Amino acid sequence: MGVAGCGKSSVGAAVASAERLPLVEGDDFHSAGNRAKMANGVPLTDADRAEWLVALGRQLAEHPQGVVLTCSALKRAYRDRLRQAAPGLRFVFLEIGPADAQQRVAGRGAHFFSATLVESQFATLESPVGEPGVLRVDALEPLDTLQRRVGEWLHGADPA
């Protein structure tokens, strides 16, 4: 979880592969209306995200054996909704600064998410640090390091 540009898709794919779990890309479950808003630089509201969170909750519930889900989960309320769908759910918070996130999003090329929305992502973000079942990592660490740290954490080792 984290703001746009933090590496959710890349880290999620690496973890899913290493753990032999299915990968669910949260972005795939946005409605056409939400995608159009984001493409036009319009931030999503809580109401816009409501059905998306229901769909993601369904995905979690449909994979009781485990799944890696990429999702911004910017607010505590969003994370709590997902936790209701999957008790014991854990979050990896890919922490990144605004300038680095902006640079990554601007460099994506063809993607529906407008780089103008990065600032609104940080304004919406409620840090999950201190919530149960959350691992904070530096999103700028190498992908293999992030995958290893997440794997160690999932299996009960200290990921430090």
Which two three-digit tokens encode residue 110? 């063809």
Does a structural domain hold residue 3? Answer: no
Domain span including residue 25: 8-154
User: Closest by alpha carbon to 44, among 102, 149, 117?
Assistant: 117
Question: Which residues are 94's β-sheet partners?
Answer: 137
Does a structural domain hold residue 147? Answer: yes
Q: Who contacts 130 (Cβ-Cβ below 8 Å, separation ≥6)? A: none
Does a structural domain hold residue 63? Answer: yes
- Longest Cα pair distance anywhere in the chain, in angstroms? 43
Is the distance from CB of 143 to CB of 11 less than 8 angstroms? yes
> What is the spatial distance between Cα 89 and Cα 19, in angstroms, rounded to a whole number?
16
Does a structural domain hold residue 75? Answer: yes
- pLDDT per position in the chain (160 positions), as tens? 999 889 999 999 999 999 999 999 998 999 999 888 887 888 889 999 999 999 999 999 999 999 999 999 999 999 999 999 999 999 999 999 999 998 888 776 555 556 677 888 899 999 999 999 999 999 999 999 999 999 999 998 655 5
Does a structural domain hold residue 123? Answer: yes
Does a structural domain hold residue 42? Answer: yes
Specify the pTM.
Answer: 0.90
Does a structural domain hold residue 116? Answer: yes
Which two three-digit tokens encode residue 141? 């660490």
Does a structural domain hold residue 70? Answer: yes
Looking up residue 42, the CATH number of its domain turns out to be 3.40.50.300
The total number of structural domains that make up the chain: 1
